[in-house]
Amino acid sequence: MMLLLSVLAPMLGAAGLFIWRPRNRKACHVWTFAWTLLTSLCVLAALLTKGGQAITLLKLTTNLTVSFKLDGLGRLFSGMVAILWPLATLYAFEYMEHEGGDNHFFGFYMLSYSMTLAIAYAEDMMTMYVFYELLSLSTLFLVMHGMKAKNVHAGRKYMYYMLGGAAMGFMSMMTVIHFSGGANFFYGGIPGLKLAPSALILPMFVLGFLGFGAKAAVFPLHSWLPTAGVAPTPVTALLHAVAVVKAGVFAVIRMSHYAYGADLIRGSWAQAVCLILALVSIVYGSSMAVREPHMKRRLAYSTMSNLSYVLLGAMLLTPAGLKGGLLHMVYHAFMKITLFSCVGAIMVKTGRSYVQEVRGMAKKMPFIMGVLAFAALCLVGVPPFIGFQSKWALAVAAVNSGDWLGVASVAVLLVSAVLTAIYMLIPTIGAYAAPLDEAGLEKNSYDPGWQMKAPLLILCAAMVILTFVSSPLNNFLTGFVK
């Protein structure tokens, strides 16, 4: 019951905003935060119960349904979303003061929350695909918020890639359904697929990897991600950290480990192709981040690279690889939502958007730059912080995979770590060591108010806790990644 309530609650909250359309911003914010917190509480209640019972929403055929069921992977993804979404919402209240259109914005913000949770709860490929598409539509209006020419262009490009990827994912899904009936997720793979001809299964798997991977900005389906950075920062923070891109890697993991199955793909040319695409995406994303002068687009390319860390772990097709990938999925969510929120605060408070404009900014924004520096150290992978833990787990899994692509993966991870240090630490050091260009700046501090500071403090505290108390998460992952 809590699964259904947590999906319906943000829908009702969004419907209330669209119908009521309060003129008072405070009323809009209270309404939004109340429904968002209620949703997260419903998710947490579902996570604390044993569950395991399927909830059928729609019966299409005897074997084909739209239904929810909570398993280990769904618990991990929905729990991560439930923790981060209220923090992003609180941050958005202060940020959106200069954007306007709060009713429209927060309505689709809550609707996207609902769609993301539905993807986490999906019992089968059909259910996941339906809400995967609905997530694209609900986030489209967030990317296009304000309807400026650049936002409309970004929205159109976003949908071209999402629809194209969904078409490839649909063909892969129909192959699974054809050979397995209902295509209910089963860790280790759906048994019926083992009888399917490999001449068909392997190309369809690669097609599904590219299709669902489009949301994860896998090369060469990545260019929508930096373009979508024109959206308000609360949107890009969720696009890059929680909702869209993480839904992409989540779908790939569902497809590879819960539909086709690792045993069916391991050692094949399809695995090699997917691994190579992940490795190319890691290096390409990191390299482009080094070259990119715009702060949000730099972080976008960084997201492309780090998402492919998760895909790398998944496509090693070993329990250790999957565990390392999932660990990085969670840790990256905390690091990247923090980084985007800091960059958004700089942009909205000072009007500065480029890396060279951040030089000396610690004098004006000590709080924001301190948080940015800490999150940057985590993302680079400086021991013992969370970025180091997940990257180390991936490197060990790659070495133990026992083939040449595993060794190549370690080399790629090392190259990416160096590039990450360049594109994250050099601007951060410059913010403290370089002189400040005070042109256009007043003498007062530019640090934001409490609504933007509080989520950042909570995120930093969470990253510190995860650094030194990571065993509960590791034990949880070990429980369902076998």
| pLDDT single digits (tens) 411-466 | 999 999 999 999 999 989 998 988 887 777 776 778 888 888 999 999 999 999 99
Kindly state the percentage of the chain with pLDDT values over 70.
98
Looking at residue 392, what is its pLDDT? 94
pTM of the model: 0.93
C-alpha–C-alpha distance, residues 76 and 330, integer Å: 8
Looking at residue 415, what is its pLDDT? 94
66: number of Cβ within 10 Å? 20
DSSP 357: G
Looking at residue 51, what is its pLDDT? 64
Give phi and psi for 50, each to the nearest 5. Answer: -65, -45
What is the DSSP code string of 237-267? Answer: HHHHHTSHHHHHHHHHHIIIIIII-HHHHTT
C-alpha–C-alpha distance, residues 246 and 369, integer Å: 26
C-alpha–C-alpha distance, residues 81 and 76, integer Å: 9
Could you say which residues of the chain have pLDDT below 70? 51-52, 182, 240, 443
